[in-house]
C-alpha cells in the first residue's frame, strides 16, 4: 500500500472534492470538506484494500488568520495490516464549528472528540455524550483557541532564570 495508491483510490471515489494533498515526513495528508469527513473515513474503513480501521489521534488546530476556516479538525488514521498512516484535515468556521462525529466508526473517537470539544469548541454532530471531559463544566470558553496572549510580558512576579529562560 503506497501513498499513490491511496490518493488514486480517493480521487476516483471523491474526485476534486479532496484537496491539499501533501506528504510531510512521508505521511499522506489531505483536506476533506467538513460535510464529507465521515463519508471519506467510512470509505477508508470499509474498502478491502485501504483498511484504515484504527484512529490513532484526533485533535484540532486554531488558525485565526483563516477567515471562515479558523478551526481545523485533524484525524490520524492507521492501516495496521499494511502499517500505513495518513492524516485527514477538515476546516470549519469558528462561528459554526460543526462536523460529523466519527464515534460510531471508531470507538477511540468518543473521548478524543470530547477532548477536542472541551479545548477548541468543535461541535461533533451525533456524538452520544458531547460534554467537557477535562475542564470544569462551568467553563464558558475554549482554552486552546488563540484568543488570549500566552503570557503577560510585564509580569514581575517570576524569575525567568528559574525556568531556564534568561
Instruction: Locate 126 and state its grid cell.
Output: 451525533
Quick: pLDDT tens for 10-36.
999 999 999 999 999 999 999 999 999
**Residue 106 maps to a domain:** yes
Instruction: Name the nearest CA neighbour of 33 among 49, 48, 19.
Output: 19
**Residue 6 maps to a domain:** no
For position 165, what pLDDT does the model report? 66
**Residue 65 maps to a domain:** yes
For residues 117 and 119, give the distance between their C-alpha atoms in angstroms, rounded to a whole number: 6
Contacts of 36 (CB under 8 A, 6+ apart): 14, 17
**Residue 134 maps to a domain:** yes
**Residue 127 maps to a domain:** yes
Quick: pLDDT tens for 111-166.
999 999 999 999 999 999 999 999 999 999 999 999 877 777 677 666 667 666 66
For position 166, what pLDDT does the model report? 60
Quick: pLDDT tens for 63-113.
999 999 999 999 999 999 999 999 999 999 999 999 999 999 999 999 999
**Residue 10 maps to a domain:** no
For position 154, what pLDDT does the model report? 73
Strand partners, 37: none
For residues 131 and 111, give the distance between their C-alpha atoms in angstroms, rounded to a whole number: 10
25: domain CATH number?
3.30.460.80
For position 62, what pLDDT does the model report? 97
pTM: 0.88
For residues 133 and 116, give the distance between their C-alpha atoms in angstroms, rounded to a whole number: 9
CA torsion sign, 66 to 67 to 69 to 70? positive
For position 17, what pLDDT does the model report? 96
In total, the chain counts a number of residues equal to 166
Task: Report how many domains make up the chain.
Answer: 1
DSSP state letter for 126: T
**Residue 75 maps to a domain:** yes
Report H helices in 1-137. 3-14, 37-46, 109-120
Domain range for 103 is: 18-138
**Residue 157 maps to a domain:** no
Amino acid at each position: 500500500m503506497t501513498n499513490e495508491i491511496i490518493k488514486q483510490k480517493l480521487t476516483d471515489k471523491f474526485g476534486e472534492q479532496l484537496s491539499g494533498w501533501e506528504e510531510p515526513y512521508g505521511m499522506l495528508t489531505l483536506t476533506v470538506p467538513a460535510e464529507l469527513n465521515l463519508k471519506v473515513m467510512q470509505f477508508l474503513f470499509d474498502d478491502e484494500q485501504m483498511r484504515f480501521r484504527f484512529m490513532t489521534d484526533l485533535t484540532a488546530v486554531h488558525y485565526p488568520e483563516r477567515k471562515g476556516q479558523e478551526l481545523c479538525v485533524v484525524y490520524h488514521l492507521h492501516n495496521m495490516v499494511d502499517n500505513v498512516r495518513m492524516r485527514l484535515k477538515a476546516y470549519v468556521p469558528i462561528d459554526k464549528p460543526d462536523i460529523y462525529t466519527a464515534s460510531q466508526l471508531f470507538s477511540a473517537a468518543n473521548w478524543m472528540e470530547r477532548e477536542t470539544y472541551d479545548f477548541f469548541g468543535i461541535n461533533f454532530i451525533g456524538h452520544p455524550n458531547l460534554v467537557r471531559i477535562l475542564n470544569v463544566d462551568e467553563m464558558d470558553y475554549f482554552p486552546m483557541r488563540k484568543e488570549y496572549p500566552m503570557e503577560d510580558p510585564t509580569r514581575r512576579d517570576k524569575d525567568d532564570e528559574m525556568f531556564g529562560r534568561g
